[in-house]
Chains A and B, each alone.
Chain A
């Protein structure tokens, strides 16, 4: 049953209120104004007053405009026909492909997976980026953000991993994405020949802010269905800080008391309900989420990266064009290191990082004008080799080659008793 109402009694931020009865919490509506038609969602019921967030924003809305309640929450089309297609932030196709009216529709923001229906992930996703594979391997079903300052090549890194990881389906959710960046993704996927297993939901920087809120939910609802059908899905979301900012706008329009820098107290739960869609189903497929979280002011304690870090299973810091070895972390690494990968992997990883930390200390010490000892020299050399052979994002190396190179690098700089590695591995791998 569709009900029309035409008395908008309140407009505040991107929230409108209309008097109406028999309306369900979470229900979808359309608002027709001079600017066109926008989707809106019920976010509060109070007596006979219904509050809606208007996805295209409230600009140009007048008290005489009509609100049509659709009788169901937000839905998105689902089926194999989605593969290769491109949609905008409200789920409309923007490529020139055929319409998808015949497809079944699924609700977005569905319930959580029962934890007992999940399994411990064991799939190693080889990216051939040594800073990822050796030091912080990506594991199937992981949720992992790239923390990045403005101007870093985060979308390149995202695209690169998206193309190399051999997922069955890749879903890109662009949130406030610059149009050029969107084109770059499309071209990169096209050239890599993966477009036919890719689905894009693209909200660009020039689209209405509130529309950003739908993108992760649509992308993840579609991912979830493919996952249930047994597909291994990789979801790329960029940029989740834009998503959080849209949430902030809504919260402020609703007069919510902010907890930190204007963000609502529910920011953690709001982000978590999206990231937690990453899953390895017991007896079906999986969803892996790789997201970009830009850090305003390059500050990791900013509420968005901070809350994200508490939700995701690690993070990659992108700084000065490289993945920082400190602070970057894959929390699921222990599930694959030495189990799926070689037995020496864990020891090489720890030892190399520890020694690199020392080499940074030496650098700092020398920068302060202290004398250089012969030992310092070795650490400096190690630091340089580490950067060139491992950190440089251009390096393209399989995991075993990278491990071998690790042993070689250690041996070029240190004695076996300086590296704190179990004797049995030294015996086996230390280059003669």
Chain B
């Protein structure tokens, strides 16, 4: 093997550092290099090669670096370490475990401090699942350990090509992530190659993990327990969606609530260039919250990747890839994985900052010309797959977008909309009116309704049609509202007014959902169906009113009953009481007068 390549720094421009290597030395695009300031090694990545001049993006603050300082090339691509022990971890964008980063500065991060991503000493109970002589391919399960909630299969390395034979497999027992538990040998008799299989393995973060039999059409609903999403714009397991919205419209709160209540096995939260404080809430609260499905702490199904806005920009770019790679890994284990990225715009801006420093020709709003393909490549890594083991796994991706000026006609939003399957557009008007979640029902869409029709209609026969009807009522209600602004209430017919009032009830009690109320924050599938059917009874009901004032007064009263209902625990006494009061009104007994 060649001696490692060295370089000499010739230019420093913020995190972009240029170095020169000797003629003829091999350098890989996206290879990891270390820039040396005294004895501090700063991790960096090769992002451009021009002859002997190599551009590095340094994942740390470069203050103190001088021309003439040295760089060392590792020969390895930027990679994530994968294996048991990631659940519950809080990593930075380069997968350093933040809680373990103790140093003399106590509160602060120190540059150049890197730790292994997985606990090096913990012992795992390994059970073999194959015998010597078994033929295996990448991703096939050789054995398993138990990690908290589920068996964590130990796979033949995902980077392997072709078929391999198990030459040795270790007996059941306790092993660390670094112990060899199997040895595989190539079935290609010429190659005579062997690999040691450990509990951990590595994967280059920028390469999609395409180790599966086939990709499947996402046709099963992923329940988020957010009514607006689940009922009106459902998301599929293995699907993608984006949440664009102006600042303060509720992107983060929506993702946080989804991260708690979505029905999936693993949740990966990528806090990408956003506020540290928001991650702190998750870090501090999740360990105390119970996952209703498993009875364990929510943290046991969660991994947090955290590269907040004041952390170095280059590492922010990496953080999304680190998150996706972890997601793909859990998918290989046959699990349902949900990845939440907040915000993909910050990631795109990191690309822009680096591109500007490299003096590349800028595209729209100074974003690089390859923005579109980079965004597409990220979302394409989500999906539902049938694995080589025959099992299925899925990786669902929800990314927030933070458009400049709240205007969706900007490059990141537009390029994202081209590739996602569902669009939850948050509107300033709705958030100003405190109509949370501020997903605008007039502009949002889900392409999954069609392909999930069958699964959706298991909620109720004609479910999809009923939802369409409710959606139409919202559209009509909005038309009426706009007309009212022009012709005034007196210019409206009674029928139109009633449509408007009905749409307001749907809005208030179904679309709006208070993330900070213990009952309202999450709605189970069963309750969604039950409450929605009651709401449809109201929508279909032909009320007889004598005057607009009577209509308004009585519909307000009805709205209040629905409103009280939604804050009552499902099927409790209060719930039943309000429900029967509503039903008796709808059964023709009229609105009772106090």
Chain B nearest Cβ from A73, distance in angstroms: 6
1/0 per residue, CB under 8 A from A, across B41-65: the answer is 0000000000000000000011111
| Contact present for B68 and A257 (CB under 8 Å) | no
Which of B11, B63, B101, B111 gathers most chain A CB within 10 Å? Answer: B63
One of B68, B367, B485 near A22 (C-beta < 8 A): B68
What is the bound-complex CA distance between A154 and B356, given in angstroms? 36
Chain A nearest Cβ from B73, distance in angstroms: 21
| Contact present for A303 and B404 (CB under 8 Å) | yes
Q: Which residues of A contact B353 (CB under 8 A)?
A: 265-266, 269
* Given A26-B64, A116-B99: A334 and B516 interface contact (C-beta under 8 Å): yes
- B residues 453-498 in Cβ contact with A at 8 Å: 485, 488-490
- A residues 241-283 in Cβ contact with B at 8 Å: 256-260, 264-266, 268-269, 272-273, 276-279, 281-282
Q: Which residues of B contact A25 (CB under 8 A)?
A: 12, 62-66
Q: Which residue of B lies closest to A269 (CB)?
A: B313
| Contact present for B308 and A276 (CB under 8 Å) | yes
Q: Which residue of A lies closest to B90 (CB)?
A: A116
1/0 per residue, CB under 8 A from B, across A384-428: the answer is 000000000000000000000000000000000110101100000
Q: Which residues of A contact B101 (CB under 8 A)?
A: 114
1/0 per residue, CB under 8 A from B, across A68-94: the answer is 000001000000000000000000000
| Contact present for B405 and A114 (CB under 8 Å) | no
| Contact present for B402 and A310 (CB under 8 Å) | yes
| Contact present for B12 and A44 (CB under 8 Å) | yes
Q: Which residues of B contact A315 (CB under 8 A)?
A: 248
One of A6-14, A168-176, A367-375 contacting the partner: A367-375
Q: Which residues of A contact B444 (CB under 8 A)?
A: none
- A residues 312-339 in Cβ contact with B at 8 Å: 313-315, 326-327, 329, 331-332, 334
One of A44, A111, A309, A327 near B432 (C-beta < 8 A): A327
Which of B246, B280, B349 gathers most chain A CB within 10 Å? Answer: B280
- Counting chain A residues whose Cβ lies within 8 A of the other chain, the interface size class is 35 or more
Chain A nearest Cβ from B327, distance in angstroms: 21
Chain B nearest Cβ from A354, distance in angstroms: 6
What is the bound-complex CA distance between A307 and B406, given in angstroms? 10
One of B98, B273, B275, B405 near A301 (C-beta < 8 A): B405
What is the bound-complex CA distance between A350 and B313, given in angstroms? 38
| Contact present for A346 and B516 (CB under 8 Å) | yes
B110 interface residue per 8 A CB criterion: yes
One of A117-125, A159-167, A187-195 contacting the partner: A117-125
| Contact present for B64 and A111 (CB under 8 Å) | no
Q: Which residues of A contact B283 (CB under 8 A)?
A: 115-116
Chain A nearest Cβ from B250, distance in angstroms: 10
What is the bound-complex CA distance between A101 and B12, given in angstroms? 33
Chain A nearest Cβ from B435, distance in angstroms: 9
A46 interface residue per 8 A CB criterion: yes
A45 interface residue per 8 A CB criterion: yes
Q: Which residues of B contact A370 (CB under 8 A)?
A: 488-490
Q: Which residues of B contact A64 (CB under 8 A)?
A: none
Chain B nearest Cβ from A123, distance in angstroms: 13
Q: Which residues of A contact B285 (CB under 8 A)?
A: 120
* Given A24-B63, A26-B64: A258 and B366 interface contact (C-beta under 8 Å): yes
Q: Which residues of B contact A259 (CB under 8 A)?
A: 352, 365-367
Q: Which residue of B lies closest to A282 (CB)?
A: B107
One of A21, A117, A257, A309 near B67 (C-beta < 8 A): A21
A284 interface residue per 8 A CB criterion: yes
* Given A24-B65, A268-B349, A303-B404: A112 and B12 interface contact (C-beta under 8 Å): no
B13 interface residue per 8 A CB criterion: yes
1/0 per residue, CB under 8 A from B, across A85-113: the answer is 00000000000000000000000001111
What is the bound-complex CA distance between A364 and B109, given in angstroms? 53
B284 interface residue per 8 A CB criterion: yes
What is the bound-complex CA distance between A246 and B310, given in angstroms? 20
Q: Which residues of B contact A350 (CB under 8 A)?
A: 434
* Given A44-B13, A73-B63, A311-B309: A113 and B109 interface contact (C-beta under 8 Å): yes
A381 interface residue per 8 A CB criterion: no
What is the bound-complex CA distance between A369 and B557, given in angstroms? 29
| Contact present for A120 and B309 (CB under 8 Å) | no
Which of A115, A118, A315, A329 gathers most chain B CB within 10 Å? Answer: A115
Q: Which residues of A contact B311 (CB under 8 A)?
A: 112
- B residues 258-281 in Cβ contact with A at 8 Å: 273, 275-277, 279-281
Q: Which residues of A contact B432 (CB under 8 A)?
A: 326-327, 357
Which of B11, B90, B107, B549 gathers most chain A CB within 10 Å? Answer: B107
Q: Which residues of B contact A354 (CB under 8 A)?
A: 433-434
What is the bound-complex CA distance between A185 and B61, given in angstroms? 36
What is the bound-complex CA distance between A284 and B516, given in angstroms? 28
| Contact present for B65 and A119 (CB under 8 Å) | no
| Contact present for B279 and A47 (CB under 8 Å) | no
5 closest cross-chain pairs (CB), A and B: A301-B405, A370-B488, A26-B63, A272-B309, A276-B310
24 pairs of residues in contact across A and B, judged by CB atoms under 8 Å: A21-B68, A22-B66, A23-B66, A45-B13, A46-B10, A73-B63, A112-B311, A113-B109, A114-B107, A120-B280, A264-B356, A265-B353, A269-B313, A269-B353, A276-B309, A301-B404, A306-B404, A307-B404, A309-B247, A311-B309, A315-B248, A370-B489, A375-B549, A418-B556
Q: Which residues of B contact A (CB under 8 A)?
A: 10-14, 61-68, 90, 98-99, 101, 105-111, 246-248, 273, 275-277, 279-281, 283-285, 306, 308-311, 313, 346, 349, 352-353, 356, 362, 365-367, 402, 404-407, 432-434, 485, 488-490, 508, 516, 549, 552, 556-557, 560, 563-564, 567
Apart from A46-B10, A48-B67, A284-B107, what 8 extra A-B contacts exist at CB < 8 Å? A47-B11, A115-B280, A260-B366, A260-B404, A265-B352, A265-B353, A282-B107, A350-B434
